[in-house]
């Protein structure tokens, strides 16, 4: 569904990525983790078409631009429109007739547990509720590939757990492909089928990738007590420490 091959990019003459490759299949949840400042967001922005690359290719086989949904940490809700109007707007801009757009917006807000809040303005919603509206806005457009950069970072733990479970349920139900940038190794393992680890910059590349054998459908709380979870977490943590500090640290930990 998505293949980013050997992506190389710089800001001016400052190199960031040198030959980073990731891929996402339909129905697959993929996370990208790595040291701070290594280039995770830059890679995602390149895949989104928002950042120029100096080498590499990005293939989104069979996908139109409108098949790709994007969610950033900050939501892009319009403050002067209600939750319902915000969700309907994307559908209107895509060419849906106004009545159908409103009906679909209501369906998606309801699916994300926001029945009764359709008429509220963003300022009248909590952070978690706003995030759900932003998610409804993206999902109402029925993306086949969802690209997300730390979209849940500002949420408290309980709301974050609920919203991420919503996303997982929808991804499993709709067979959407997902690429998520996150700092949270636990979240990456609990959510994903594959986790990519980016090496330390400059000139970062994919240092390793991990298949997560936890079965689906997934309950994110139960996923953490799956026998594969703790060993994977330890390995990922140790590999992340190694890319940050070099192999000496691994020797110390052992």
Instruction: Write out the residues near ligand ATP by the rule CB under 6 A.
Output: 11, 16, 34, 36-42, 183, 201
Beta bridge partners, 181, equal: 32, 149
Are 239 and 208 in contact by the 8 Å Cβ rule? The answer is yes
Q: Tell me whether residue 183 or residue 216 sits nearer to ligand ATP (CB atom).
A: 183
Q: How far is the CB of 80 from ligand ATP (least distance, A)?
A: 30
Stretch (H or E) spanning 237 = helix 229-245
Q: How far is the CB of 201 from ligand ATP (least distance, A)?
A: 6
DSSP strand pairing (29-33 vs 2-11): unpaired
Q: How far is the CB of 57 from ligand ATP (least distance, A)?
A: 19
- Rounded Cα distance between 195 and 204, Å, is 16
Q: How far is the CB of 101 from ligand ATP (least distance, A)?
A: 34
Q: Tell me whether residue 34 or residue 177 sits nearer to ligand ATP (CB atom).
A: 34
Q: How far is the CB of 148 from ligand ATP (least distance, A)?
A: 13
Around 27, how many Cα atoms within 13 Å sit in the side-chain half-sphere? Answer: 6
Q: Tell me whether residue 50 or residue 253 sits nearer to ligand ATP (CB atom).
A: 50
Q: Is 64 helix (H, G, I), strand (E, B) or coil?
A: coil
Q: Tell me whether residue 36 or residue 225 sits nearer to ligand ATP (CB atom).
A: 36
Q: Tell me whether residue 85 or residue 150 sits nearer to ligand ATP (CB atom).
A: 150
Q: How far is the CB of 38 from ligand ATP (least distance, A)?
A: 4
Q: Tell me whether residue 49 or residue 213 sits nearer to ligand ATP (CB atom).
A: 49
Beta bridge partners, 71, equal: 148
DSSP state of 122: G
Beta bridge partners, 8, equal: 18, 55
- Rounded Cα distance between 64 and 57, Å, is 17
- Rounded Cα distance between 7 and 254, Å, is 34
Q: How many CB atoms lie within 10 A of CB 230?
A: 12
């Amino acid at each position: 569904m998505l293949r980013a091959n050997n992506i190389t990019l710089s800001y001016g003459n400052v190199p960031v990525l040198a030959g980073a490759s990731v891929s996402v299949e339909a129905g697959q949840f993929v996370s990208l983790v790595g040291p701070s400042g290594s280039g995770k967001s830059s890679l995602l922005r390149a895949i989104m078409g928002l950042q120029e690359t100096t080498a590499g290719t990005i293939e989104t086989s069979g996908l139109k631009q409108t098949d790709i949904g994007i969610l950033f940490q900050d939501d892009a809700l319009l403050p002067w429109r209600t939750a319902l109007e915000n969700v309907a707007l994307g559908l209107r801009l895509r060419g849906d007739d106004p009545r159908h757009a409103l009906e679909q917006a209501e369906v998606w807000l309801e699916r994300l547990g926001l029945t009764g809040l359709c008429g509220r303005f963003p300022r009248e919603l909590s952070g978690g509720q706003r995030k759900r509206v932003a998610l409804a806005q993206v999902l109402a457009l029925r993306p086949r590939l969802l690209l997300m950069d730390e979209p849940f970072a500002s949420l408290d733990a309980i709301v974050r757990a609920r919203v991420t479970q919503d996303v997982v349920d929808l991804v499993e139900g709709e067979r959407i492909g997902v690429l998520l940038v996150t700092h949270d190794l636990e979240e990456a393992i609990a959510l994903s089928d594959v986790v990519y680890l980016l090496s330390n910059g400059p000139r970062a590349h994919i240092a390793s990738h991990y298949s997560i054998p936890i079965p689906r459908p997934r309950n994110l709380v139960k996923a953490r007590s799956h026998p594969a979870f703790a060993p994977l977490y330890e390995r990922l943590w140790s590999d992340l420490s190694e890319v940050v500090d070099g192999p000496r640290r691994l020797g110390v930990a052992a």
